Amino acid sequence: MKILITAGPTHEPIDPVRFIGNHSSGKMGIAIAEEFAKQESEVVLIKGATNLNPDNPKIQLIPVITAAEMFTACEQYFSWADVIVFAAAVADYTPKFPSATKIKKKQEEFSIELVKTKDIAGELGKKKRENQVVVGFALETNDEEAHAKEKLEKKNFDFIVLNSMRDEGAGFQTDTNKITIIDRAGNVTKFDLKQKT
């Protein structure tokens, strides 16, 4: 099997020093990549801005920083893959005019104009072949199942893995996760808190 996985956050530059990002560590996506590699799959891991790396040397690692870079890398490998797992926490917005030099603290208030990033899973979901399996992730804070089901349909996923910021030990920066898997038929399978590995 040929597997494409995304993991970790993207960082969207404000200036050469600062960025907009999130708390994703990449642990979940890396754990999935390791498991597929252990099962003798050919794995390409597109890894966002995290210092964590997979241990398995057979995993082809493509490091990226921004959402735009992640989109380009995913586009390159999407048609190659049998299974695609979108586990990265991609920024929804990016600064419209990042500064080439460090912004100095002069004003009492400062605004940054943001523009939407490309919806990687949404754009590539339109190109999904019948024999490909595409899995998405949804980290939600409210109306979790409704938002996840909406995302599954909108992005043409076969499965979506839902976790909630309200569940202790789940989400960003932890070694554990508590997930619910929803498929296209609407089947909902809930799992107790487990190690991400």
**Strand 83-86 relative to strand 93-95: parallel, antiparallel, unpaired?**
unpaired
**Strand 83-86 relative to strand 2-7: parallel, antiparallel, unpaired?**
parallel
**CA distances from residue 11 to 46, 51, 60, 72, 176 in whole angstroms, order as listed:** 14, 13, 21, 15, 24
* Residue 45 amino acid letter: L
Cβ 124 vs Cβ 78: under 8 Å = yes
Is 22 catalytic? The answer is yes
Instruction: Give me the catalytic one of 22, 53, 56, 163.
Output: 22
Residue in 196, 150, 11, 178 with CA at minimum distance from that of residue 90: 11
Residues 11 and 50: their CA atoms lie apart, in Å, by 10
Instruction: Give the CA count within 13 Å in the CB-facing half-sphere of 177.
Output: 25
Cβ 75 vs Cβ 95: under 8 Å = no
Burial of 169 (0-12, 13-18, 19+ CB in 10 A): exposed
Report the catalytic residues. Answer: 22
